[in-house]
Structure 1
C-alpha cells in the first residue's frame, strides 16, 4: 500500500533556502562595501525591517504543515492523484521562495542603496579628542547594571553623537595600549570599531592606564591647532604604571585629561568564560576565592586633578557626560577640514527590476500540471472513435465527417445534429451517439448528453468504448448534480479500465458530492422533525386551554 512521504525534506529545503538567502545578502553586502567603501543605505536606520521578512518563512512552514495535514485527511496516498491531480509537495516551496526573494529585493530597493559619486572638502570647527577604553578582563564584571565594557561602549557612542565638528580617535588598552581608530570626523567608522572591541583583542592582560594616556597623546595630530582632550574609561585598578605622572605630563604639554570610573566601590566578582565565550563561573585566586574587582576612585581622582580635567563615576546603566562637554565647550576650537561625499548615485532601480523578474517567474510556474479541458477530452475521443465509421455507408460516413468538422469548429449544436443523423446507421450507431453526447455536453445540454451516452452504451460491447462512455456519463451526471448516478458510471468505467486517472478523479468528486447531499438531507430531516414536534406541542397546549 502506498504511504505518504515525509514532509521533513520540504521543510528542510525551505529552511536551507532561507539560510542561503541570508548568507548571500550578507556576503554580498560585505564584499560590496569592501570594494566600494562609500556604499551605504539611504535608510540605514530601517535596515532591521529586512530581518522582519524572515517571519514569512516561519508562516510558510506552518502553512505547509497545515496543508499537508488537510490533504492527508482528504484521501489516502494511493488516491491523491485522483483527488488532486498533479499534486506535488515541493512546488509550493519553490513558488514561495521566488516570492520571498522578490520581497527581500523590494525591501532592499526601499532601503535605497547608494554610493558616493562626488567628493568635497568640508570644514568644521571643533577639538581633537582621543578616547581610551579599558578592555581588561575586569571590565566584564556586571556591577553597573550591565557589563562594564558594554556601558563604556554605549557612553563612547553618546559622547561621539554629542560632539559635532570634533575629531575623535579610539585607543584600547589592557596590559598594553593600541590605537584602534585614528582621529576622524566619521562617527559611523568609530561605531564600527567599537562593535569589534572585546577583552580578547589585547593579548597582554592587566590595566596599564598610564600607557593608554601616552598612546592617546601620541595619536594627536601635531599640525592641528585644535585643543587636545583625552577621555579614559576604566575601572581604575591600575597595576602596571604611574597614571598620575602620565596625566601630569599631558597637562603640562597643553592637553586635558578626563576620567570616567566604570565600576562601583563595592565591586563584584570577575566572570570567567570558556573557549566558546560562554560564562563558566568566576575567576579565582590561588586560594580558590573569587577575584573581586572594585573601583579605585582615589587614583582616578588624583589623576584627573593632575591632568587638569574632570572625574565622573558611572551610575547604574548611565554615565553623566555634561562635565566633559561643558569643559570642552570652553576650549579653543580650530577649523578642521575633512573630505566627504556630497553627491550619491542611488542604486534602487536594479533591485526593483530583479524583484519584478522574480515575480514574473513565479507566475510562470504552475501550482500543478494543467488538466485537459472537457472540450479537449471529447475532441480526443472524436479522433479515436471517428475511424470506426470507415466501413459505414457513404451517407452515414459523410454525416460523421460533417459532425466532426463542426465539432472542431466549436459549432457544437450543428455537430450534435449531424451525429444524430449518423446514428441512424446501425454499424456506427454507438460511435455517432457517443460523439453526439460529447457535442451536447460541450454545448451545455447535460440532460440530452446523458441520454445520448446511455443509448451509446446499449449499442456496443467493446470494453474500451464502454469505459470511455461511462466516464463521460459520470462527468455529465456531476454537471447535473446527480451524485448517485455519477458514482455508478465512474465505478463502471474503472471496472472496465482501472488505469484511468480521470475516472478516479470523477469518482472522488462524486463521492464528496454524495456525502454533502446526504448531510444536507439529514439537516433538512432534523429541521422538519423539530418543526413537527413544535406544531404538536402547540396543538396540545391549545387543546388543554380549550
Structure 2
C-alpha cells in the first residue's frame, strides 16, 4: 500500500495557480531606436503601432511538461513510501536470574550423569540447567555464582549460547568454599532494579546452608518481595545430612514462601531435572508481541520520472528557442 510521509506537501500543487493570479507576467525591455521618419516606416511595413507589451505564448508541450514536472517534484517532496504487510515480533517479557552455589560441597560425587556414571553435583546441575535454558527462548537470562561471596557471572542477556558458555566455565570453589546465600539474593535484587521488566524470577540452586552472608537470607527475601522478585529455591543433596554441609530446608522454604515462589529438593539427576520441569510449568516462557509494517522509500520514482520528462522535452524547448531567435532575426 502506498502512503505519503509528508502529505501536506501536496498543498504546493496550488503554487502555479497562485503565481499565475498574483504575480504579473514577466516583462522584458529592449533598446529602441528613435527615428524622424517613424510614420513612413509604419506605412511601408503595413503594421499598426500599439502601446503596451506583447506576451509570447508558450507551446502546448512546454506548458504540459512544466505542470507535469512540477507535480512530480511535489510528489517526491511528499515522500511516498510503500508500506508492507504487518510483521509480528515477539519480545522478551521476563528477566530470569539463576544463582548457582559453587561452594566446596558441590564437588561431592554422589550424583550420576545421563549415562549413569558417578559425577559431582555441579556437573549434573550444569547439564540440567542446559536443558532448562533450551526452553526459555522468551526470557533474558542472568547468572550469579556464589560461595564465600556472590559474583555476577552474566548480566541479563538474550544470548543464551553465551550464557551457557559462562555457566560451563564456572568451577567449584571459584567464589570461595562457603555459602553466602543471602548475599546472592541481595546481588540479584540490585540487578533486577536496573531492569525495566516487571516479571522477575530468581532460581537459587544450593547444597548447603548460609554460612557467611552479610545479609541474612530471610531479610534479603523480604526485600525481594518488595521489588517484585519471585524466588524458587532448589536444594541438591541429601536433606538428612548433618553438620556444616546440612541443607537448611527451613530457611530455603521460608525464602521461597516469602516471595510467593516454591522450594524443591533433589537428591539425584532425575529429581533435579523434574524440579526444573516443574518450575518451567510454574513460570512458562513469556513474550510481549509487537508488530510493525516495513516501509520502503519510493521518492526516487517521481524524481526519476521528472528526469526522464526533462530529457524527452528538451528538444521541444530547444526548437522553441531557435524559433524565437529566427523570428527576432527576421
TMscore range, shorter length? 0.5 to 0.7
Secondary structure in 2 matching 1:139:
helix
Structure 2: distance between partners of 1:188 and 1:293: 32
Indicate the residue corresponding to 2:130 in structure 1: 157
Instruction: Determine if contact 2:185/2:221 at 8 Å carries over to the other structure.
Output: yes
Give 1:216's match in structure 2, choosing from 188, 197, 220. Answer: 188
Structure 2: distance between partners of 1:292 and 1:243: 17
Please show how residues 335-346 of structure 1 align to structure 2 within 5 Å: none
Structure 2: distance between partners of 1:140 and 1:152: 11
Deviations 1:63-105 (A, max 9, x none): xxxxxxxxxxxxxxxxxxxxxxxxxxxxxxxxxxxxxxxxxxx
Secondary structure in 2 matching 1:170:
strand
Q: 1:223 to 1:173 in 2, by over 3 A?
A: closer
2:136 aligned with 1:184:
no
Higher relative contact order (CA 8 A, sep 6+): 2
Secondary structure in 1 matching 2:196:
coil
Give the CA deviation at 1:317.
1.5
Secondary structure in 1 matching 2:170:
coil
Structure 2: distance between partners of 1:258 and 1:132: 10
Instruction: Determine if contact 2:139/2:286 at 8 Å carries over to the other structure.
Output: no
Secondary structure in 2 matching 1:128:
strand
Structure 1: distance between partners of 2:289 and 2:152: 24
Indicate the residue corresponding to 2:43 in structure 1: none
Instruction: Determine if contact 1:143/1:267 at 8 Å carries over to the other structure.
Output: no
Q: 1:292 to 1:236 in 2, by over 3 A?
A: closer
Please show how residues 170-209 of structure 1 align to structure 2 within 5 Å: 170-202=143-175, 204-209=176-181
Indicate the residue corresponding to 1:284 in structure 2: none
Q: 1:335 to 1:193 in 2, by over 3 A?
A: farther
Q: 1:158 to 1:150 in 2, by over 3 A?
A: same
2:202 aligned with 1:233:
no
TM superposition score normalised by structure 2:
0.53
2:229 aligned with 1:255:
yes
2:261 aligned with 1:309:
yes
Give the CA deviation at 1:292.
6.5
Secondary structure in 1 matching 2:223:
helix
Structure 2: distance between partners of 1:231 and 1:254: 14
Structure 1: distance between partners of 2:195 and 2:252: 30
2:94 aligned with 1:131:
no
Give the CA deviation at 1:174.
0.5
Deviations 1:94-144 (A, max 9, x none): xxxxxxxxxxxxxxxxxxxxxxxxxxxx74243110100000101112233
Structure 2: distance between partners of 1:196 and 1:226: 30
Instruction: Determine if contact 1:128/1:228 at 8 Å carries over to the other structure.
Output: yes
Indicate the residue corresponding to 2:23 in structure 1: none
Structure 1: distance between partners of 2:158 and 2:289: 12
Flag as ranges the 4+ runs of structure 1 deviating above 6 A. none
Instruction: Determine if contact 1:126/1:164 at 8 Å carries over to the other structure.
Output: no
Please show how residues 136-535 of structure 1 align to structure 2 within 5 Å: 136-145=103-112, 146-202=119-175, 204-220=176-192, 222-241=194-213, 242-267=216-241, 293-318=245-270, 319=272, 320=274, 321-329=276-284, 334=288
Q: 1:254 to 1:292 in 2, by over 3 A?
A: closer
Secondary structure in 1 matching 2:269:
coil
Structure 1: distance between partners of 2:259 and 2:208: 15
Give the CA deviation at 1:334.
4.4
Q: Which one has a larger percent strand, Structure 1 or Structure 2?
A: 2
Give unmatched runs, 5+ long, in structure 1.
Answer: 1-121, 269-290, 337-546
Please show how residues 58-69 of structure 1 align to structure 2 within 5 Å: none
Give the CA deviation at 1:248.
1.9
Give the CA deviation at 1:215.
1.1
Structure 1: distance between partners of 2:197 and 2:99: 21
TM superposition score normalised by structure 1:
0.33
Pairwise CA RMSD of aligned residues? Answer: 2.6
Give the CA deviation at 1:311.
1.0
Deviations 1:408-464 (A, max 9, x none): xxxxxxxxxxxxxxxxxxxxxxxxxxxxxxxxxxxxxxxxxxxxxxxxxxxxxxxxx
Q: How many residues align?
A: 193
